[in-house]
Amino acid sequence: MPVVKGICEYDGTNYSGWQKQINSNSIQAEIEKALSVILGKNISIIGAGRTDVGVHALNQVFHFKYDNEINLDLIRKSLNGLLPDDISIKSLKEEKENFHARYSAKRRTYLYIVSKRKNVFYDKYSWTIFSNLDHKALLEIQNHFIGEKDFTSFCKAEKEVKNKTCKVSYSRWFSNDDFLLYFISADRFIHGMVRGIVGLSIEYAKGRLSLDEAIEIINGFQRCPIWAPSKGLILYNVEY
């Protein structure tokens, strides 16, 4: 049975997250509903990962199976006509039968945006912090997250999964006049992990934690004291 790989972007402000849930609106449910209308049968999709309530995506990947030949370009255009304005299908393409949006993924990258000032256009997509942050401190702490580690301290739902070990391959802060941008890549992420890492990094950049205290949290000896707001978090890319 042919497998179709889709890439979508969405503004997660008005959704309970990617994952379909009972009595809540989700991105997955919206795409499945539109696909089912267009193809005339119930369609289930599987995403590369679950983004939390209020989290956005530039390149979320999903797949579905369909047993008939279909015009994917026409389906994409039809989907974008039916879907809400805050969800867009960027591409649809046929993949090999063994392709799986979640299990075939090798690396996922998230972007977190911190705004240094009141910003009319980016308020929905950034965490505004007016106090001064030590950028050198951010550069100092960023490398401490790299490697294969147990990120239990940064997991919001402790019982979500038993295995909380993730291999982080990239962790980097960038700064310009208006924003701080944080990129992090790993083989997998657990619930709340990136928001916890950003929250801890900001606390350290504010001088509220010593480096030793921050490292104790990173190493799992203490729980992360603060999570960054979800609105600044964006699923940036998924690699296969």
Calculate the alpha carbon distances from 169 to 11, 66, 108, 148, 155 in Å: 26, 35, 10, 9, 19
CB-facing half-sphere around the CA of 181: CA atoms within 13 A: 12
Contact predicate 113/122, CB 8 Å = yes
Q: Which tokens go with 20?
A: 């379909």
Please tell me the distance from the alpha carbon of residue 35 to that of residue 82, in angstroms, as a whole number. Answer: 9
Q: Catalytic residue among 52, 85, 134, 177, which?
A: 52
Residue 73 designated active-site: no
Q: Which amino acid is at 140?
A: E
Q: Which tokens go with 174?
A: 């960038």
Contact predicate 47/62, CB 8 Å = yes
Please tell me the distance from the alpha carbon of residue 99 to that of residue 68, in angstroms, as a whole number. Answer: 18
Q: Name the residues annotated as catalytic.
A: 52
